[in-house]
Copies of this chain bind each other. A is one copy, B any other.
């Protein structure tokens, strides 16, 4: 452990929650190191996932904090049997090292302790092993407010997601379905957003059921602000979860990555109401890419708020579901899929995630990092985006061609979206 802070001690005990050792054992150190890495990389960083897979989190942290040269890291990785290219590794180090900030890390830990958040890692009894299906993009660990035992695999769970701009129809159907699932002991997973997500959580709570919210920022600051009370209640009787450290704010990239967790941590995903461009289609895409059962609730063709659901039915082989019983049948399918996976894997991959994300992941991150008013230089953008400076320059070039960014005398700005 290269980081030593008093406050971290309290957290380190929670960190080990569920693991066998509690007194600075290897598991303890490894878990703590994962928390450190969570502050250096953006969610879903595949290069870091491979590095941790090869060397372990503790060794990875040591190398990063020592600022070990790329050749040395590469040699260790290759010795462990993994082989990211030098270029990948260089880009990774360039992304992660500018974010090393002991003070910020300590602040995050202190904040986690203050809100009673615990950090769980793979191997813990309560670790939702479904997320491991994300491979090198799996989360390194999860911060949980509430009862982490609710995340343990095996418990029947359904992601109920949908648009923020929900109609009376969508909310009515969400109420019917969430209440029915809660009555049957199914955990309702969602994203805590306004509209369908919030209705799903709220009705599950009101029905005495179990609900889990995955956030795109730290669990210390609930987002959206208008759902602070709701998320507080979820934390009291269910769980509020994020892979981001306390203090991290939500960005578009983090919302997209949060969606992958909703899909991966649930046995099935159902979109209850979604317009043609709703973010919930991204969650649906992740579910399909993971080979998880995907359902969509139809609505009036005359309602643009259901257009995304109809698209899922039409283009992505989503199953048409009209009530809670039919969603339970999807869960039955989930078990069969899991069985079949033992024999053959990868067959369910329809790569529809990419189709929903028109800009590349790097472009999204750089756009998030830009301001429309305050010009920012490449080093600043690289740190904000969690990308290497070279990558940021490449991305800026592409975005400039698309007229999405502009260079001013004192740095880059994001162009305002044109009307229409």
Contacts of A326 in B (CB 8 A): 314
Within 8 A of B (CB), among A309-354: 310, 313-314, 319-323, 326
Contacting pair A322 B299 (CB below 8 A): no
CB of A419 closer than 8 Å to a CB of B: no
Contacts of A173 in B (CB 8 A): 301-302
| Copies per complex of this chain | 2
CB of A169 closer than 8 Å to a CB of B: yes
Contacting pair A314 B310 (CB below 8 A): no
Contacts of A319 in B (CB 8 A): 314
Contacts of A229 in B (CB 8 A): none
- Using known A-B contacts A314-B321, A320-B313, A322-B310, determine if residue A169 contacts B302 with beta carbons closer than 8 Å: yes
Contacting pair A301 B298 (CB below 8 A): yes
Q: What CA separation (Å) do A321 and B173 show in the bound complex? A: 21
Q: What 0/1 pattern do residues 157 to 168 of A give for CB contact below 8 A with B?
A: 000000000000
Contacting pair B299 A301 (CB below 8 A): yes
Contacts of A299 in B (CB 8 A): 298-301
Q: What CA separation (Å) do A351 and B301 show in the bound complex? A: 29
CB of A297 closer than 8 Å to a CB of B: yes
CB of A172 closer than 8 Å to a CB of B: yes
Min distance, Cβ A176 to any Cβ of chain B, angstroms: 9
Within 8 A of B (CB), among A205-219: none
Contacting pair B300 A169 (CB below 8 A): yes
Q: What CA separation (Å) do A298 and B319 show in the bound complex? A: 13
For the residues of A in contact with B, the DSSP-based class is mixed
Min distance, Cβ A327 to any Cβ of chain B, angstroms: 12
Q: What CA separation (Å) do A152 and B165 show in the bound complex? A: 49
Contacting pair B301 A322 (CB below 8 A): yes
Contacts of A306 in B (CB 8 A): 298
Contacts of A298 in B (CB 8 A): 298-301, 306, 310, 313, 320
Contacting pair A310 B301 (CB below 8 A): no
Contacts of A322 in B (CB 8 A): 301, 307, 310, 314
Shortest Cβ distance from A298 into B: residue? B298
Q: What CA separation (Å) do A172 and B303 show in the bound complex? A: 13
Contacts of A300 in B (CB 8 A): 169, 298-300
Best-buried of A300, A301, A313 by chain B (most CB within 10 Å): A301
Q: What CA separation (Å) do A314 and B295 show in the bound complex? A: 10
Contacts of A301 in B (CB 8 A): 173, 297-299, 322-323
Contacts of A169 in B (CB 8 A): 300, 302
Q: What CA separation (Å) do A172 and B322 show in the bound complex? A: 22
Min distance, Cβ A280 to any Cβ of chain B, angstroms: 17
Min distance, Cβ A325 to any Cβ of chain B, angstroms: 12
Within 8 A of B (CB), among A260-310: 297-302, 306-307, 310
Shortest Cβ distance from A312 into B: residue? B320
Shortest Cβ distance from A301 into B: residue? B322
Q: What CA separation (Å) do A173 and B302 show in the bound complex? A: 8
Q: What CA separation (Å) do A334 and B306 show in the bound complex? A: 27
Shortest Cβ distance from A169 into B: residue? B300
Q: What CA separation (Å) do A83 and B340 show in the bound complex? A: 45
Q: What 0/1 pattern do residues 12 to 35 of A give for CB contact below 8 A with B?
A: 000000000000000000000000
Query: What are 9 A-B interface contacts by the 8 Å CB criterion?
Result: A173-B301, A297-B301, A298-B298, A298-B301, A298-B320, A299-B300, A310-B320, A314-B322, A320-B320
Which residues of A come within 8 Å of B, CB atoms?
Answer: 169, 172-173, 297-302, 306-307, 310, 313-314, 319-323, 326
Q: A172-B302, A298-B299, A314-B319 are in contact. List 16 more A-B contacts (CB 8 A).
A: A169-B300, A169-B302, A173-B302, A298-B298, A298-B300, A298-B301, A298-B310, A299-B301, A301-B323, A307-B322, A310-B320, A313-B313, A314-B320, A314-B322, A314-B326, A320-B320
Among all A-B residue pairs, the 9 with the closest Cβ atoms = A298-B298, A313-B320, A314-B320, A301-B322, A300-B300, A310-B322, A310-B320, A299-B300, A173-B301
